[in-house]
Amino acid sequence: MAVDPMDTIGRNFPRVDAYERVTGKATYTRDIKLPGMLYARILRSTVPHAMIRRIDTSKAEALPGVRAVITHKTHKIVYGSGSISGGRQYSDAHKDITTRLRYTFNEHVRYVGEPVAAVAAVNRHIAEEALQLIEIEYDALPFVLEPENARKPGAPEIWPGGNIAHDSENRQQAIGSRRGNLEAGFAAADQIFEDRYTTQFVQDAQMEPRSALAHWEGEKLILQTPTQGVSNCRHDMARDLGLEDHQVQVICQYMGGGFGDKNGNYYFDLIAAALAKDLGVPVMVELSRKDDWLGTHGRWPTVQDFKVGVKNDGTLTAIQLQALSGMGPYLRRSGNISGMDVYACENTERSILPVHTNRMVSGNFRAPTYPQGYFALQSMLDDVAYKVGVDPVQFALKNMVRPTESIQFTNYALDQCIEQGAELFDWANRWKPVPGSGEGPIKRGAGMAFMMFNARVGASSAILRVNSAGRYTVYVGVTDIGPGAKTTMSLLAAETLGVPLSAVDIVWGDSDRCPYSVGESGSRTTTMTGYAVVEAARDLKRQIAEHGMPTGEDVLVASATPAPTTGNKLREGFGAHFAEVEVDTHLGHVRVTKYLTVHESGRILNPLPANDQIRGAVLQGIGQALHEDLLYDSNNGHPLTSGYYWARHLTHLDAPVIENTFIETDDGFGPYGAKTVGESGIIIAPAAVANAVFNAIGHRMKELPITCAKILEVVA
Amino acid sequence: MKNAPDTEFSRRKFIEGSGAAIVAAKATSVTAQERAEESGHQTAVEDVPRTPITLTVNGSERRIEAEDRWTLAELLRDHLGLTGTRIGCNRGECGACTVLLDGEPAYSCSTLAVWADGRSVQTVEGLEKNGQVTKLQQAFIDYNAPQCGFCTAGQLMSATALLQRNPTPTAQQIREALAGNLCRCSNYNAIVEAVQAAAATGGA
């Protein structure tokens, strides 16, 4: 299934901005200084649930150097992107009908870390000092931290009408899907298994603490902020502030990581805009690390109950999932749980209730609905495989989705990923048919998991220009959050035009200078904006063929906004992961000793960064499997483990070498057959590690993260 | 897992540094400019304790009247224009702000500016010489060591110090030396490969 070689694409290219990134010259938001700029800091709620009875800002305002203090009393700005209404990619209409509006500052505070006031001052030290001078009295309300408790009758109501989240039509209904006939599926089963799996909250935790720098030129807002989507951020800002899109310019040149849910605006962007408007000078809002940790979002925690029917030969007959997703007090994103589609089982049901709690807000983190779903489902079904006596690899090959008349793919490579991975990993020798059967206190075991992930095509825009000096300029509204989008877009232009990469410049990350882009989320940049670059480059090439190269001051310009579809065919990327672990049964410590992945992501445009997207994502997934968590004190509703140290983020010492292989294909869609890469690597890492731990110790670990304490509880 | 050798070392330096002698020096143009900028908005906002200090930054002597509350990271970024040193946590967890203090890695967010008095500071801006990046920086480019790039300066500074004291480290020695530098993109494999490649071509 090899692909035909191309001139530029498919070779290893360092990033076009690698020099800026290794010399410190790359300019992130907080590095920007504007004349007369003020610094702003945000005060946050210290209680999990309360009404603000009194807020007195007079002492803070009297502090020399303070220019403004704003609260819910002075500014009532709806923060639309804080709900499922956010962004043009979601539902604009929902903002008009929702009864659960979120404001930039809420008089009714619903979690520890919720913004309650902001101060602008001549420097950050004064702003910080002023925060301490704001007096707040709260009328405490009862709070609830666990989704299961939050939905019980009599639970503290975070919203009138109860804690089950509203959908876009204000209904409190489970989300999910149903296929076939569940009852018939269970009736056809030889054995039925039921179990519960839970997953934790995982902060996105990008390295750059967030900032927003706003200034106004008359009635126009210029916002510099680390967003994953300048176009969507602009639209959100305009809507929340009652402006037209053209009255807002959003700029993001470099950003210190984006792992999800930054493809829009954030409340601190609105705070910066409001303060800058009131004061008539530029205002930089800076979040501390703790502000960023508690005041943004992370992957929603889940409680997942399964009922599975299986025949004695290992064929699945029914899978039922009933789950709760903990969304925090505001419904920022869906709360959905994915993974069922990778099985061929004809009778399935997913029923998920997104539930509000007084924990911090949940939102999108790299493959938002996937790793928590795949961990639970593929742990559950791995367990079923052992119980019916089938090797997990054979169980996967027997039960995975395959192309049928009703399920068609643009191409299919799941079987190849699993088979090739098992061979490269030496599954037959590393996997123990009897789990926990190793000798001595250090137990070794192997596990696997397999996945598919949407690589859909869709609308996005690009502009290309050539001048008489033969320099080509690509204009794209991408922000290059880390994977190397600027380089990918430049490579696609160079390949299509038949010119060297060095002849291509790029203008990016500026909503005034660049056309609309879907933004860097959902792994869509390459497949959608990248395809627009190809189309624009084809047009420019035709123009050059027709008119010749421009002379003098002339330029040729091409723009494209293609909206391709794959008809009724699914376009998916496929993958299989194989992990080997050592578990120290005296200390409870888990060490990943080998980790091998095989991914089919279509044609690989630039293998160097593509490989690191997989490797980095796998390591984030291992972090979710073994380390990261946000624990709360149930007595007072305070988070206990905010920050890299307490959440036990992976360091160099915790990171095993990841061996990745790409199976390259070209299905004729996307830019030269390229599919998604950025999110694929994280999806099954927690499942693969957890399954390896089971193989090593013979005890099924059903709660993430798998900590030393939890291991010791079962092996002691 | 946070007790990496570099981290420990920087913490020792952190404590030693507090005893550094304070040398009086004239206010420089940097301070004057700062005050001029501030006076545009305010009159005598604060009577903040300041201490004149002299330090060498990337080979040049700088005399500054530093506010006692400034961290070294703050001095470098906001008052010397060296924004290549990033602040990821401002509390000694992540290592993004790592600089070399008298040749040894230190978290500049957890080092007061006045403690750098009389000492030599090297930042990421000081690596390039005559428009030439170092072998380590070139390896970071060639091996895709930066993803988002926010931790890169810190990784480079810790690795520079490592290669200066051990030109041929093993992969495990690299991991230990860089254990105080987090990368949330988790591009750890590529960073170690880049340092190994730099070592193979003969140095930092």
- Do A205 and B152 lie within an 8 Å CB cutoff? no
- Do B184 and A649 lie within an 8 Å CB cutoff? yes
Peptide linkage before A282 cis (omega within 30 of 0): no
Task: Compute the distance between CA of residue B77 and CA of residue B71 in angstroms, rounded to an integer.
Answer: 10
Domain termination site, one of A236, A255, A286: A286
Q: Is the domain of A610 the same as that of A676?
A: yes
- Do A620 and B186 lie within an 8 Å CB cutoff? yes
Residue A497 domain flag: yes
Q: Is the domain of A441 the same as that of A461?
A: no
Q: Is B89 on the interface with A (CB under 8 A)?
A: yes
Q: Is the domain of A483 the same as that of A428?
A: no
Task: Compute the distance between CA of residue A259 and CA of residue A246 in angstroms, rounded to an integer.
Answer: 28
> With contact defined as beta carbons under 8 Å apart, do A274 and A108 qualify?
no
pLDDT at position B15: 37
The tens digit of pLDDT for each residue in A389-422 reads 999 999 999 999 999 999 999 999 999 999 999 9
pLDDT at position B39: 39
The tens digit of pLDDT for each residue in A276-335 reads 999 999 999 999 999 999 999 999 999 999 999 999 999 999 999 999 999 999 998 999
pLDDT at position B27: 31
The chain B residue lying nearest A206, using CA atoms, is B184
Strands A191-199 and A283-286: unpaired
pLDDT at position A82: 62
Q: Is B183 on the interface with A (CB under 8 A)?
A: yes
Residue A606 domain flag: yes
Q: What is the DSSP string of B49-90?
A: -EEEEEEEETTEEEEEEEETT-BHHHIIIIIS--TTS--SSS
Chain B nearest-CA distance from A349, in A, is 34
pLDDT at position B7: 38
Q: Is the pLDDT of residue A63 over 50?
A: yes
Q: Is the pLDDT of residue A47 over 80?
A: yes
Mean pLDDT, rounded, for A235-251: 94
Task: Compute the distance between CA of residue A55 and CA of residue A499 in angstroms, rounded to an integer.
Answer: 62
Domains and CATH numbers, chain B: 5-126 (3.10.20.30), 135-200 (1.10.150.120)
Q: Is the domain of A448 the same as that of A464?
A: no
The tens digit of pLDDT for each residue in A370-388 reads 999 999 999 999 999 999 9
* Structure confidence at residue B29 as a pLDDT band (50, 70, 90): very low
The chain A residue lying nearest B192, using CA atoms, is A652
Q: Is the domain of A540 the same as that of A637?
A: no
Residue A324 domain flag: no
From chain A, the residues in CB contact with B174 under 8 A are 652
Chain B nearest-CA distance from A472, in A, is 24
CATH code, A41? 3.90.1170.50
Total domains in chain A come to 3
- Do A256 and B94 lie within an 8 Å CB cutoff? no
Best of B147, B158, B173 to substitute, by most chain A Cβ atoms within 10 angstroms, is: B147
The tens digit of pLDDT for each residue in B174-188 reads 999 999 999 999 999
- Do A257 and B150 lie within an 8 Å CB cutoff? yes
- Do A126 and B46 lie within an 8 Å CB cutoff? yes
- Do A256 and B148 lie within an 8 Å CB cutoff? yes
Residue A524 CB coordination number (10 Å): 25
Domain termination site, one of A529, A560, A591: A560
- Percent of chain B clearing pLDDT 70 (strictly above): 77
Residue A576 domain flag: yes
- Do A644 and B89 lie within an 8 Å CB cutoff? yes
Which tokens belong to B170?
Answer: 């093993």
The tens digit of pLDDT for each residue in A132-159 reads 999 999 999 999 999 999 999 999 999 9
Here the ipTM equals 0.97
Which tokens belong to A343?
Answer: 């099985």
Residue A582 domain flag: yes
- Do B175 and A655 lie within an 8 Å CB cutoff? yes
pLDDT at position B37: 43
Q: Is the domain of A132 the same as that of A228?
A: yes
CATH code, A488? 3.30.365.10
Residue A190 domain flag: no
In terms of C-beta density within 10 A (0-12 exposed, 13-18 middle, 19 or more buried), how is residue A644 classed? buried
Q: Is the domain of A703 the same as that of A592?
A: yes
Mean pLDDT, rounded, for B119-144: 97
The tens digit of pLDDT for each residue in A519-558 reads 888 888 999 999 999 999 999 999 999 999 999 999 999 9
From chain A, the residues in CB contact with B1 under 8 A are 648, 651, 653-654
Which of A257, A650, A658 shows the shortest C-beta gap to B148?
A257
The tens digit of pLDDT for each residue in B73-120 reads 999 999 999 999 999 999 999 999 999 999 999 999 999 999 999 999
Task: Assign 3-class secondary structure to A362-426.
Answer: ECCCCCCCCHHHHHHHHHHHHHHHHHCCCCHHHHHHHHECCCCCCCCECCCCHHHHHHHHHHHHC
Q: Is the domain of A124 the same as that of A241?
A: yes
Contacting B residues, span 105-134, partner chain A, CB-CB under 8 Å: 123-125, 127-128, 133
Q: Is B145 on the interface with A (CB under 8 A)?
A: yes
The chain A residue lying nearest B190, using CA atoms, is A612
Q: Is the domain of A509 the same as that of A544?
A: yes
pLDDT at position B2: 36
Residue A341 domain flag: no
pLDDT at position B31: 39
Q: Is the domain of A555 the same as that of A573?
A: no
Q: Is the domain of A37 the same as that of A125?
A: yes
Residue A307 domain flag: no
Which tokens belong to A401?
Answer: 């989705």
Domain that holds residue A470: 457-560
- The packing angle between helices A607-626 and B188-200, to 10°, is 130
Q: Is the pLDDT of residue A37 over 50?
A: yes
Q: Is the pLDDT of residue B3 over 80?
A: no
- Do B90 and A623 lie within an 8 Å CB cutoff? no
Q: List A54's β-bridge partners, or say none.
A: A137
Closest-CA residue to A14 (of B100, B164, B137): B137
The tens digit of pLDDT for each residue in A69-126 reads 999 999 999 898 666 544 555 667 777 788 888 999 999 999 999 999 999 999 999 9
Widest distance between CA atoms in chain B = 57
Q: Is the domain of A584 the same as that of A694?
A: yes
Domain termination site, one of A533, A560, A587: A560
CA angle A617, A621, A626 (to 5 degrees): 150
The chain B residue lying nearest A38, using CA atoms, is B41
Q: Is B34 on the interface with A (CB under 8 A)?
A: no
From chain B, the residues in CB contact with A209 under 8 A are 87-90
- Do A206 and B176 lie within an 8 Å CB cutoff? no
Q: Is the pLDDT of residue B6 over 80?
A: no
The tens digit of pLDDT for each residue in A475-492 reads 999 998 999 999 999 999
